[in-house]
Amino acid sequence: MIALKPPALTIAFRWLVRVVGLALMVCALVPYWQALRALDQRDYVSALLAGFVGWFISHAGLELVRPESAE
């Protein structure tokens, strides 16, 4: 099989996607923090939903950072 090297623009785009993913993972701390604050104020429903927001954002970031498929 001939290994084709992707063009430089594609490589740059992949790096950009990974950096965005890392930024999303770190940004997810904000809703997690809000979830803990809401939990502290006994606001359980708000805490649950803020936790969902953080969970989804961190997973979006994780999806962009994690390795490509091995095959």
Partner 1 sequence: MDLRAAPRILTPVLGAACWIQLALVPLLSRRASAVPWLLAALSLGLLGAGARESVRHPERSLLLYAGVFPLSLAACAVAAAGAHPARYDAPGQAVVAATVAAFLAASAWGWSGSRDRVPAVVVASSVSEVGPSPPPPLRVVGVVALIAVALTLAVVAPLGVSRAASLHFTRGGAALLRGRLALVAAGGLSLAVLWTFVAGGALLRRAPAPARSGARAWFYLCAATVAFAMRYWLDHAR
Kindly give, in sequence order, each residue whose CB lies less than 8 Å from that of residue 23, ignoring residues fewer than 6 positions away: 61
Structure tokens, 26 = 């770190």
Site for partner 1 in 17-36 (CB under 8 A): 17-18, 21-22, 25-26, 28-29, 31-33, 35-36
Question: How far, in Å, CA of 21 to CA of 4, rounded?
Answer: 26
Q: Which is nearer to partner 1, 7 or 45 (CB)?
A: 45
> Is 5 among the residues that bind partner 1 (CB under 8 A)?
no
Name the residue type at position 35.
Answer: A
Name the residue type at position 13.
Answer: F
Tally of residues, the chain = 71
> Is 13 among the residues that bind partner 1 (CB under 8 A)?
no
> Is 16 among the residues that bind partner 1 (CB under 8 A)?
no
Provide the binding-site residues for partner 1, judged by CB under 8 A. Answer: 1, 15, 17-18, 21-22, 25-26, 28-29, 31-33, 35-37, 39-40, 42, 44-54, 56-71
